[in-house]
Copies of this chain bind each other. A is one copy, B any other.
Amino acid sequence: MLHAAEEIAQALGEDAVCYDHDVLEHHGHSDWSTSNSANRAVAVVYPKSTEDVSTIARICHRRNVPMVPFGAGSSVEGSFSQPLSGICIDFSYMDKIVAFHPDDMDVVVQPGLNWVDLNNHIASSGLFAPMDPSPTATVGGMVSTNCSGTNAFRYGTMKDWVLNLTVVLADGTVIKTRRRPRKTSAGYNLTSLFVGAEGTLGIITEATLKLAPIPQSTSVAVVPFPTIHSAAAAATALIRSGIQLAALEIMDEKQMEILNAHGSPTVRKRHWAEQPTLFLKFSGTAEAVQSDVSRVSAIIHDLTQGRAPFHFARTKQEEHDLWAARKESLFTMTSIRPAGFEMWSTDVAVPVSRLAEIIDWSKAECGKLGIFASVIGHVGDGNFHVAMMYDPRDKEQAAAVGRCVHEMMDKALEMEGTVSGEHAIGIGKKACLRDELGEETIGVMRSLKRAVDPKGVMNPGKVFD
């Protein structure tokens, strides 16, 4: 493997290869994740172009050396870890906007570009890339995990926003999945095959992303409910109403307690009701937003006989402050984590009608463990996250948390759900994916993998074995 790194250094220059222990450590381990592997890459390499990546692939392929792409390192399922060592490919220097076509509403970017930077850069055009995962995320990782976030309720997931991909295959061959029209029915959908494949089929070196017009107007409302069930029932009624909300999120009473106790000064400007709370975002023309706010308020009033106070932002500042509570929730939680404790953050999705039931069930199970656990959900998509804090030195507790997560997956599958709504599979959920899809469907995935990567050098050990 070291020979491969040396050959890469010869081809791309000494600067393009790093063996530093701390750098390898940073690229092989995440504090945010419980899915880490013991091994590390032998070197981190820094390509500057598709041609560089192709060169790296040719060298690694010839020498049978694993290649592991690295974006922001914010995966919580270990998608970038290196269980079989190999070469880690860091896209920090491939973070450019290659071409921006405002009239076609698309943008061609490199995989190392951060989505917040992208949106800041193009904001004056009135367009934006609507996916909103972790603010640290880069396009390559977003594509490779089929990410989403709070905007998914309105805008779908990453697969819906990728027009084409330039991909370096295992042997260094460069392909483009398709051209740049907004719609096509020409040939197999290779774009969607590489989206969500976690770098196991090829390395993404360029992506053309569809953009959406920035809504003229937005607003935010929060509504506390007596129970998770009543909140979820209200959410279902809102979805069925046909009102096009921009986001529909849920936070449980534990999350709301944390906001009051440990939120940022912005968030603590108000005292939050410590109850399961829906966060709603509205967007559209000014008239549409006004009309949606009053219709939603009426639906919730009717459903709850006026017992769920509907509070909507009266100013832009208040809108920002209310939504900040939702956006900061994960950071607030990690900031209060006791020294030595770990956080197991997991993610499942079920058909919308079953969401209240599985959230209730999950909260009851976590309750039995006597640990801190809270729920944040993209309720509009039937997708939710549970974060559990535990002491890994307490082997019994750690094992119980692992079992609880597993049972949650099983429960989601019983409900025809999925073991991963937006965090992908990585190394953490391979067994669960087999439970979800069955050996025959995994068998088809395995055949496809073998067809494009017969040597198994592309991000090995991920998704399935």
Segment with Cβ contacts to B, from A12-20, A41-49, A156-164:
A156-164
A241, CB-defined interface residue at 8 Å: yes
Which residues between 190 and 246 of chain A lie within 8 Å of chain B, taking CB atoms? Answer: 190, 192-193, 195-197, 201, 213-216, 236, 239-244
Contact B169–A425 (Cβ < 8 Å): no
A345 to chain B: closest CB distance in Å? Answer: 14
Contact B243–A285 (Cβ < 8 Å): yes
Which residues between 280 and 329 of chain A lie within 8 Å of chain B, taking CB atoms? Answer: 284-285, 287-288, 291-292, 295
- Counting chain B CB atoms within 10 Å of each CB, the highest count among A292, A444, A450 belongs to A444
Task: Count the copies.
Answer: 2
A418, CB-defined interface residue at 8 Å: yes
Interface string of A242-259 (1 = CB under 8 A from B): 111000000000000000
Q: Please, which residues of chain B bring their CB within 8 A of the CB of A188?
A: 193, 196-197, 201, 445, 448, 463
Which residues between 142 and 167 of chain A lie within 8 Å of chain B, taking CB atoms? Answer: 145-148, 152, 156-157, 159-160
A159 to B192, CA, bound (A): 10
Where chain A touches its partner, the secondary structure class is loop
Contact B181–A417 (Cβ < 8 Å): yes
Contact A145–B185 (Cβ < 8 Å): yes
A8, CB-defined interface residue at 8 Å: no
- Counting chain B CB atoms within 10 Å of each CB, the highest count among A288, A382, A429 belongs to A288
A368, CB-defined interface residue at 8 Å: no
A262, CB-defined interface residue at 8 Å: no
Contact A422–B185 (Cβ < 8 Å): yes
Contact A185–B445 (Cβ < 8 Å): no
A121 to chain B: closest CB distance in Å? Answer: 18
Q: Please, which residues of chain B bring their CB within 8 A of the CB of A138?
A: none
**A interface, size bucket:** 35 or more
Contact A101–B353 (Cβ < 8 Å): yes
Q: Please, which residues of chain B bring their CB within 8 A of the CB of A106?
A: 351
A194 to B464, CA, bound (A): 20
Segment with Cβ contacts to B, from A26-34, A86-94, A171-179, A265-273:
A171-179
A340, CB-defined interface residue at 8 Å: no
With A185-B145, A216-B242, A444-B190: A436-B351 Cβ-Cβ less than 8 Å: no
Q: Which residues in A have some Cβ–Cβ distance to B below 8 Å? A: 101-106, 126, 145-148, 152, 156-157, 159-160, 169, 173-190, 192-193, 195-197, 201, 213-216, 236, 239-244, 284-285, 287-288, 291-292, 295, 349-353, 381-383, 412-413, 416-425, 429, 433, 436-438, 440-442, 444-445, 447-448, 450-452, 463-464
28 A–B contacts, CB within 8 A, in A order:
A103-B236, A126-B242, A159-B192, A169-B444, A173-B440, A175-B440, A178-B418, A181-B350, A181-B412, A181-B417, A182-B349, A183-B349, A183-B421, A185-B196, A185-B421, A186-B424, A186-B433, A188-B197, A188-B445, A189-B196, A189-B197, A193-B448, A213-B239, A213-B242, A215-B242, A244-B244, A287-B288, A287-B291
- In order of increasing CB-CB distance, the 5 nearest A-B pairs are A213-B242, A192-B192, A103-B353, A451-B451, A104-B351
Kindly list 10 other residue pairs between chains A and B, CB separation below 8 angstroms, not including A182-B352, A213-B242, A291-B291: A147-B185, A169-B444, A174-B440, A181-B418, A182-B351, A185-B421, A185-B423, A188-B445, A216-B242, A288-B291
